[in-house]
Structure 1
């Protein structure tokens, strides 16, 4: 998230402050109650802004969910990048990339499913949807680069394999029951990767 600097104008600092408060309020409420149980008015109240102000930053509750979750997914992806560098074999490396993303998705399963639904079916013109797609693409890019470094796959084959891995990950996260632990989802992914890459 952007932080205002001393050279930022007052209007921009005010805008960034409101965005930060709205994001923090949405994250707190969604984590505590789940996206389905939270209204945009509740987010506005907790952020201490008008409800119309919330809609200046996010046009829908779905967009508000993406706004609040994208930063967490970006952090998860960075952890995956670091863990991948320490892995010893291709499957461990890919699991290292995907594990933090799965854990992020499973913190609140209903929110995780809603995030995936928006990622796949959401309005691509919305800025936070685009940011979510970019995070998904960056995950795929990490997988592809890992495959190229750790296997004999040429880039076109590694890219096709990376798309299959993305499908495996999406399917495993989307179909996991509400009580499934992140570790169970990761192990399902690992098993399918063993078939794909074994």
Structure 2
């Protein structure tokens, strides 16, 4: 039996962002966990413009090639972890845009979060995301990884060094995601829509 596919999504697209290093750390932990076939998805590489589909995503009728590629990427995953910064007491626009592009592709899939920021440790970003993913029919994990004062977790050469206990927190989130994924059938890649 094949392992469930986990996509770790780098939510920030801003130049100088911390997300790729944090997502890389989480990805390594996911590989060590060995419960998932884990891969990284960077929204900066996906390159979605501000939502430009003329029809609502619930119809699944996509006009643009970038939307069909995004649909295929999301459809291929069984679970997600969004690595998101906290901006202005919420999450960033690129993450919202990526979620809003699709509808049925998210339905029923477990999701967890790695939030990062200042004193609030990305908690407000994660809390703001919960009603969105629930509205999309996703199943949020009970716990999240939260990284406070994220700048202090980086070395002078730009490497992310997790605080004590963060690896164990992340492993617990992976355990929860695996449990949630086990109660649903594995996704199968679908043909392009539209």
Asked whether the two chains share a fold, i.e. TM above 0.5, the reply is no
Structure showing greater Rg: 1
> More helix by proportion, 1 or 2?
1
TM-score, structure 1 normalization? 0.28
> More strand by proportion, 1 or 2?
2
